[in-house]
Chain A
């Protein structure tokens, strides 16, 4: 089991990311050029009314950054929690043919724990949106 967890970072692997860096630089460059171009090309006739926020024609009241419904944040926290659990399946998926049935039962147990947590949040109503 241990030998599956050991990683041999070779220089060839690190080198394969060079094209990704090229694409990143290309994308950033392209976006910056277009951003500057649109800044220079567009007309600039600003009035104080234009620079106000649009709120369907009525005057906007106060700051928009007010406390939001807690449900959205709860969803984000639950996502982080479950995504970490999902990430644990990836090494298994890559190696599961070698691990055979013993690996399968181990993962089934892990899925069982996953489902326990999942059932708990559903029963607690963490994902109930209508009040």
Chain B
């Protein structure tokens, strides 16, 4: 019986989090256009509903009613598998994120984290790496020269930036001594946010997150002036939608991950919220809202960068990743280890 309640509880939580990431991704497209408009002194979408708020609904609905085209020369099975894989991996990364303190409902403590597995952050890395296959399979299956070139570019860019990202993360793990996401956040509640100890590590992590999400200035797989449309050139209907949504979901999740790793997760800065004597459920909801606002801030910064900085050239991108970020991340790791050991003695 206990197992049944556990499964029911987790199923509800999974449903909630997956729908949350979908809705956030939908409204991120609206946000992107509004931010772009604001930065370029325009108005942006304002026809569908108040402030154009129904625009994403119209766009999403439209994708369902578009003709589904699978080119004759493409590999049909892989052509469908590509976007499905991109979307599945995007929806899976949120499984290990601690969203807030536990809720107390029906005499049960409900953790607002789908799975507190002991590999924690490595799970996120593993699933993000699988995202490469979504792009690679899509580009290969299309059998289009532009798509294939874009997919290969994307794959080699994503694997290249995974190295400095992993190295930057090691310095955080040294401060915590555990891979669990819940311990990483708990350590920050106790000792202060990791951004104070790891400013360089965060900078490297942030740059790599931009590259992993294929965002400007690293959006080489979608460089429309040289590759038409990128790896999803042959796609139409919701299959195209999956690729675009997956990108926005990844952006949101990477914002949440950065908030959890470096900015204290659901912690409210400068106050001790536990001493307010508030109801446990209310506190959990406040924490959740705080985490979301941090994530939205990062999503906003991603958009801000997109409309400010031009795209890198491919050799510059590779040079930055391999010859600048990797040595810098290694240095950061060694320095962190030395300083932590020195202060402990």
A residues adjacent to B (C-beta < 8 A): 13, 16-20, 22-24, 26-28, 30-32, 34-35, 37-39, 41-46, 50-56, 60, 63-65, 68, 72, 75-76, 79, 82-83, 86-87, 89-90, 93-97, 100-101, 104, 107-108, 111, 114-115, 118, 122, 127-130
Q: Residue on A with the closest CB to B11?
A: A22
Check if A18 sits within 8 Å of B330, measured CB to CB.
Answer: no
Complex: how many Å from CA A100 to CA B76? 56
Per-residue CB contact flags for chain B residues 212-252 toward chain A (1 = under 8 Å, else 0) read 00000000000000001000011001110110000000000
B337 / chain A contacts, CB cutoff of 8 Å: 96, 104, 107
Ranked 7 nearest A-B pairs via Cβ: A129-B315, A38-B238, A27-B91, A19-B115, A79-B159, A93-B173, A19-B10
Alpha-carbon separation in the docked complex, A82 to B69 (Å): 40
A111 touches B334 (CB 8 A): yes
A51 touches B148 (CB 8 A): no
Q: Which A residues touch B59, using CB under 8 A? A: none
Say yes or no: is B268 at the interface (Cβ < 8 Å to chain A).
no
Interface residues on chain B, number (Cβ under 8 Å):
86
| Cβ–Cβ contact A50 & B69, under 8 A | yes
In the complex, B278 has a CB within 8 A of chain A = no
Hey, which chain A residues are within 8 Å of B115, CB to CB?
16-20, 23
> In the complex, are the beta carbons of A114 and B330 less than 8 A apart?
yes
CB pair A53–B143 under 8 Å, yes or no, is yes
Enumerate chain B residues within 8 angstroms of A93, measured Cβ to Cβ: 170-171, 173-174
Q: Which of A30, A39, A53 has the most CB of B within 10 A?
A: A53
Q: Would A108 and B334 count as touching, CB distance under 8 A? A: yes
Interface stretch, picked from B27-35, B150-158, B190-198, is B150-158
* 0 or 1 for each of B133-173: is its CB under 8 Å from A? (1 = yes): 00000001011111111001101100110110011001101
User: Would A26 and B122 be within 8 Å (CB), given that A89-B167, A111-B330, A127-B322 are in contact?
Assistant: no
Q: Give bound CA distance, A90 to B118, whole Å.
A: 13
Using an 8 Å CB-CB cutoff, how does the interface string of B86-100 with A read, 1 for contact, 0 for none? Answer: 011001101110000
Asked if B4 is at the interface (CB within 8 A of a chain A CB), the reply is: no
User: Which residues from B are CB-within-8-Å of A23?
Assistant: 14, 18, 91-92, 94-95, 114-115
Contact with A along B1-32 (1 / 0, CB 8 A): 00000110011011100100000000000000
Task: Flag if A20 contacts B237 (CB, 8 Å).
Answer: no
Is there an interface contact between B92 and A46, defined as CB atoms closer than 8 Å?
no
Q: Which residue of B lies closest to A36 (CB)?
A: B238
| Interface flag for B341 (CB, 8 Å) | yes
Contact A86 B163 (CB under 8 A): yes
Q: Does B92 lie within 8 Å of A27, measured CB to CB?
A: yes
Contact call A65/B140, Cβ cutoff below 8 A: yes
Interface residue? B274 (CB, 8 A): no
Stretch from B44-52, B60-68, B286-294 at the A interface: B60-68
| Cβ–Cβ contact B326 & A42, under 8 A | no
Known: A53-B234, A55-B145, A68-B152. 15 other contacts (CB 8 A): A16-B118, A27-B88, A31-B242, A39-B68, A52-B72, A53-B73, A53-B142, A64-B143, A64-B148, A68-B148, A72-B152, A79-B162, A86-B163, A101-B341, A129-B319
B43 at the interface (CB under 8 A from A): no
Tell me, in angstroms, the Cα distance from A16 to B117 when the chains sit together. 6
With A24-B92, A90-B122 already in contact, the answer to whether A55 and B144 are too (CB < 8 A) is: yes
Contact A34 B315 (CB under 8 A): no
Beyond A18-B10, A76-B159, A89-B333, whether A42 also contacts B318 by CB under 8 A is: no
Inter-chain contacts of A52 with B (CB < 8 A): 71-73
Q: Once bound together, how far apart are the Cα atoms of A39 and B118, in whole Å? A: 40
Q: What are 20 pairs between A and B in contact, CB < 8 Å? A: A13-B117, A17-B117, A23-B115, A31-B242, A37-B238, A38-B66, A42-B64, A43-B65, A52-B71, A54-B234, A55-B145, A55-B146, A82-B163, A83-B163, A86-B170, A90-B122, A90-B173, A96-B341, A115-B327, A129-B319
Q: Would A31 and B87 count as touching, CB distance under 8 A?
A: yes
A89 and B148 contact, Cβ closer than 8 Å, known pairs A22-B14, A27-B91: no
Known: A51-B71, A104-B337, A129-B315. A79 touches B84 (CB 8 A): no
Contact of B323 with A by CB under 8 A:
yes
Partner of B177, one of A65, A79, A94, A101: A94
Q: What residue of chain A has the Cβ atom nearest to residue B345's Cβ? A: A101
B114 touches A19 (CB 8 A): yes
